[in-house]
Amino acid sequence: MADLVQVTGVSRYGFYNEFGDKHDLFLRCIDQYANTAIDMALSPMEQADASLAEIRGYFSQLIIATEGEQPAMGCLIGNTAMSTPVLDDALANRIAQHYTRMRAAFLNALQNAKAQGELSMNESTEALADYLVGVANGYLACLRSMSPEAVRHFIEIALQRLSVVQN
């Protein structure tokens, strides 16, 4: 809170008056993040005509994030899910909504890809959607423990999985 007060010039009282306590402020931050960064990341895969190209685009953005001058931070919601030992109901619900939305976005693009002949008709889009959510989560752990090159390899191998299932 001290950092927010210093950077913004808003008093503690002003923050507490506007947002309630620190927990409520954090929930509002999560909501804002979901409505901005997450919308930008997932909305291409949620489009009616999304397919494998949009999934590759999503993961390409994750690779690009490792190439900057500053270390990649990952995802606020994913990092919260992995680093918060006990989640209260409000936070747990937001995290569950995030992963439900992510899975639905992958599933939409995968189902479209299957209908367009980009995936084998025998491929389970449900299982692939679960796998891709796992890859996105694994990326967060890799960011903390692996070199940028190793993170790129991790994502590239996952994307090769999509190439293998093509007709």
Cβ atoms of 136 and 102 within 8 Å: the answer is: yes
Q: What percentage of residues in the chain have a pLDDT greater than 90?
A: 57
Please report the pLDDT score of residue 4 as a whole number: 65
Please report the pLDDT score of residue 164 as a whole number: 60
Domain membership flag for residue 21: no
Q: Give the DSSP letter string of 48-97.
A: TT--HHHHHHHHHHHHHHTTSSSPP---HHHHHHHH-SS--HHHHHHHHH
Total domains, the chain: 1
Domain membership flag for residue 124: yes
- Its domain, for residue 155, covers 27-164
pTM of the model: 0.87
What's the mean pLDDT in 61-81?
Answer: 86
Domain membership flag for residue 22: no
Domain membership flag for residue 18: no
* 13-27, 35-49, 98-112: the lowest-pLDDT one: 13-27
Domain membership flag for residue 105: yes
Domain membership flag for residue 15: no
Please report the pLDDT score of residue 128 as a whole number: 96
Cβ atoms of 28 and 19 within 8 Å: the answer is: yes
One-letter identity of residue 123: E
Measured CA distances, 58 to 6, 39, 43, 52, 61 (Å): 35, 12, 10, 10, 5
Domain membership flag for residue 5: no
Domain membership flag for residue 12: no
What's the mean pLDDT in 141-152?
Answer: 89
CATH code for the domain in which residue 60 is found: 1.10.357.10
Residue 111 host element (H or E): helix 89-115
